[in-house]
Amino acid sequence: MAKISAIEYYFPENRVYNDQENKLTKKIGIFSKYKARKDETALDLAVKAAEKLFEKGVCKKEEIDFLLFCTQAPDYILPTSACIIQNKLKMSNNCGALDINLGCSGFIYGLSLAKGLIKSNQAKSVLLLTADTYSKFVNEKDLSTSLLFGDAAAATLITKSNEDYIGKFVFGTDGSGANNLIIKAGAAREPINSDTVMEFEDERGIIRNKKDLYMNGPEVFKFAMREVPKSIKTLLEIENRTLDDYDYFVFHQANQYMLNALRRRLEIDENKFSIQLNDCGNTVSSTIPIALKREIEKGNIKDNDNVLLAGFGVGLSWASCSIKINLN
């Protein structure tokens, strides 16, 4: 049995602001976000988040049995970034370390892996790090992405417990939608060359090149509206619960417009629904732990509260789960 014992998060020092009068800015509800330095990577942010967690004294580094690092912005093709983090944090050599290449649903996938390691007695304490630096992939001329994504990292400690505070999971994948959120060039399928760095205007009037992040916003929106409610319905069925059994809802913080559309579709009370992105943007795999931490600090989520989590995005991939808060 397992529980979330602590969460910390970290933003880069550089904060940038969207045009406050822009109609799209107001629609998505993101007014500022954080941007990593040119020499600062997702790995660096993850180390800072983990250091914050260890400084709180919630556990000792040598007590961590497994390190999971969820990112889509690794330092190298190889070695695994988690191995480098283990060394930078001076963690035990007996600690397992693994990268997860997943985006907006990555936190829930990582939470599931952590629970599995603990329930199978392979670990007692798991450190789940999430970090991304999408700013390095975004073309500033492409407002469909440049207004949305912020850089950040989160560190979540999952530990063995007497009661199971992490409930059941529902996962989903639709790889046929992979091209709706993609960076075409830069890996084995299409290496970077002189053609891939040439800017062009696509059929939707978006200026970018093939090594920039591309997002088909309308298709991603339709995907979320189609799959997230179905995922939550399935979760409710296997948990034998209704939405009224949950005290709070924390979804992937994609953008305010999409979140409110999902909330209305599911008929969730806005006073029980987290929106924590106005000042930091869509931080990909870190949005859920950041929102969880903030809602707990504000007192909106309390001890013993039942919380429903839902992540969705690049892949296309989605996941949902139930957790119970234990602040002791």
The residues annotated with a catalytic role in the active site are 104, 252, 282
For 143, phi and psi rounded to 5 degrees?
-70, -15
Task: Tell me 165's DSSP state.
Answer: -
Both tokens assigned to 281 = 């943007």
DSSP-derived pairing of the beta strands 125-132 and 96-100: unpaired
The three-state secondary structure class of 204 is coil
Tokens at 274, concatenated: 């987290």
E strands, 36-89, are 66-70
- DSSP characters for 209-273? -TTSEEE-HHHHHHHHHHHHHHHHHHHHHHHT--GGG-SEEEE----HHHHHHHHHHHT--GGGB
Token pair of 258, please?
Answer: 């999409």
